[in-house]
Amino acid sequence: MAYSTIIKPSDYFNTKTYTQSGSNNNGNTQTLTMDNVGWVWIKNRDYTNGHCLFDIVRGGDKLLASNGTAVQETIGGGLTFGSSDTTIGADTGGYGFNNRVGDDYVAWHWRTSGSQGSSNTDGTINTTYTSANTTSGFSISTVTLSGSGNQTFGHGLGVTPSLVIFKCTSHAESWKVYNSSLSSPESKYLQLDLSDAAGNASNIWGAGMTSSTVGVNVGVLGTAGQDYVAYVFAPIKGFSKFGVYDGNGSADGSFIYTGFKPGWIMLKQSSHAGNDWWMFDSKRLGYNPDNYLLRANISNAELTNDDIDLVSGGFKIRSTDGGINTSANQYFYMAFAESPLVANVDGGLPTTAR
């Protein structure tokens, strides 16, 4: 059974929904009440603002957009990370995370160490900063690539990661995503800002991942002298899972077992191009099968959607849409828990159906 070392998943991942109030481009602040928030991903649900990604390592005034290749932007009215509460600022420049009066927003947030961290000296390249939470299997590193060919840098998790999201912050480049479940994963990559199928480049991830380092092939994956951020994930039983499933082309689609009731899912067809990165969560209003959809690679507003059920032990596909269930095609997914499937041995509560 899927007992978890994490009794309360919302201590490590959670979703906040809010409605902007105040005035356009100078709204009221919002509060995330999780301890030691390290990564925040915000999207306007009602308008075509881009996705807004912040982290404690780069700083709360540095914004990246998952739906583009642009370098990080230094902004006004950003985020203030704290050990107990984190504040979403007034968005004084109209950047899209809290800037339109009356619009609805969602803020997904993950816990790290509660600080910017320090340089990790594992590997051939030292990170500038690494902030790691070994309990939840998540770390953030910033690094300036150097040398050429196969290089490595530390991630601080102590176990081999299954997923890495990698973005240049100083030069316009596509986001790259490593997934250990793809065949020959050291040579495969997905691009978070594009609807492309998984690409293939010989040893793009260098020699691959280890319990201490992320592998990169400098000159193929990225450019020497440029700055990058890496979001690194290792699966935690009953809390997070990263993998693939095969579509069957039927409205009675596959059931994907995660071992927990999902609080958040992102999935992408990896075998064919033309399908977006689909994002669901359990907090935006909508119930099985009407779970609302956002897409990480485009800035479009939220869509009402009836393609997926979020259930006690995973998620069930309910559509033949190519973005989620084409026959014999492969789909990548990453998922985080709202609650574990069964009670934790130390007193956690069991999940309930939606």
Q: Do 180 and 266 sit in the same domain of this protein? A: no
Which of 111, 137, 171 is the last residue before a domain boundary? 111
**245 exposure class (CB count in 10 Å sphere: 0-12, 13-18, 19+):** buried
Query: ω into residue 289 within 30 of 0, thus cis?
Result: yes
Task: Please tell me what DSSP assigns to residue 12.
Answer: T
Which pair of tokens denotes residue 142? 């910033």
For the sheet with 104-111, list strands across it. 13-19, 104-111, 37-44, 52-55, 59-64, 73-74
Q: Quick check: is 176 in a domain? A: yes
Write the pLDDT tens digit of every residue in 28-59: 999 999 999 999 999 999 999 999 999 999 99
In which residue are the tokens 């004084």 written?
Answer: 92
Q: Quick check: is 121 in a domain? A: no
Q: Quick check: is 294 in a domain? A: yes
Q: Do 221 and 246 sit in the same domain of this protein? A: no
In which residue are the tokens 């033949």 written?
Answer: 320
Q: Quick check: is 282 in a domain? A: yes
Q: Which residues have C-beta within 8 Å of that of residue 203, sequence separation ≥ 6?
A: 150, 186, 187, 217, 220
Q: What integer is the mean pLDDT of 151-177?
A: 98
Query: What's residue 154's pLDDT?
Result: 98
Query: What's residue 1's pLDDT?
Result: 46
Q: Do 141 and 77 sit in the same domain of this protein? A: no
Contact in structure between 316 and 255 (CB atoms under 8 Å): yes
Which of 111, 141, 162 is the last residue before a domain boundary? 111
Write the pLDDT tens digit of every residue in 110-135: 999 999 999 999 999 999 999 999 99
Q: Which domain, by its residues, includes 227?
A: 129-233
Q: Do 95 and 189 sit in the same domain of this protein? A: no
Q: Give Cα separations from 264 to 173, 188, 250 (angstroms).
A: 26, 24, 23
Q: Quick check: is 95 in a domain? A: yes
d(Cα 255, Cα 202) in Å, to the nearest integer? 33
Tell me how many domains the chain contains.
Answer: 3
Q: What integer is the mean pLDDT of 317-342?
A: 90
Contact in structure between 27 and 91 (CB atoms under 8 Å): yes
Query: What's residue 349's pLDDT?
Result: 54
Q: Quick check: is 347 in a domain? A: no
Q: Do 204 and 261 sit in the same domain of this protein? A: no
Read off the pLDDT band of 198 (50, 70, 90). Answer: very high
Q: Amino acid identity, residue 219? A: G
- Of the candidates 268, 292, 280, 271, the residue with the CA atom closest to the CA atom of residue 338: 280
Cα radius of gyration (the chain): 19
Q: Is the pLDDT of residue 215 over 70?
A: yes
Q: Quick check: is 93 in a domain? A: yes
Write the pLDDT tens digit of every residue in 77-118: 999 999 999 999 999 999 999 999 999 999 999 999 999 999
Task: Please tell me what DSSP assigns to residue 305.
Answer: -
- Secondary structure of residue 10 in the 3-state scheme: helix
Q: Give Cα separations from 268 to 45, 194, 324, 344 (angstroms).
A: 20, 10, 7, 31
- Of the candidates 95, 111, 92, 82, the residue with the CA atom closest to the CA atom of residue 42: 95
In which residue are the tokens 């929904």 written?
Answer: 17
Q: Do 70 and 158 sit in the same domain of this protein? A: no
Mean of all residue pLDDT scores within the chain: 93
Contact in structure between 230 and 222 (CB atoms under 8 Å): no
What phi, psi does 150 have (nearest 5°)? Answer: -70, 120
Read off the pLDDT band of 286 (50, 70, 90). Answer: confident
Extended beta strands in 146-270, E state: 149-154, 163-168, 176-179, 188-189, 199-200, 213-218, 227-233, 240-246, 255-257, 260-269
* Of residues 148 and 3, more confidently modeled: 148
Query: What's residue 343's pLDDT?
Result: 52
d(Cα 37, Cα 12) in Å, to the nearest integer? 8
Q: Quick check: is 345 in a domain? A: no
Helical spans, DSSP H, in 38-137: none
What phi, psi does 205 have (nearest 5°)? Answer: -100, 30
Which pair of tokens denotes residue 342? 């069964």
Which of 206, 233, 260 is the last residue before a domain boundary? 233
What phi, psi does 10 have (nearest 5°)? Answer: -65, -10
Q: Do 41 and 92 sit in the same domain of this protein? A: yes
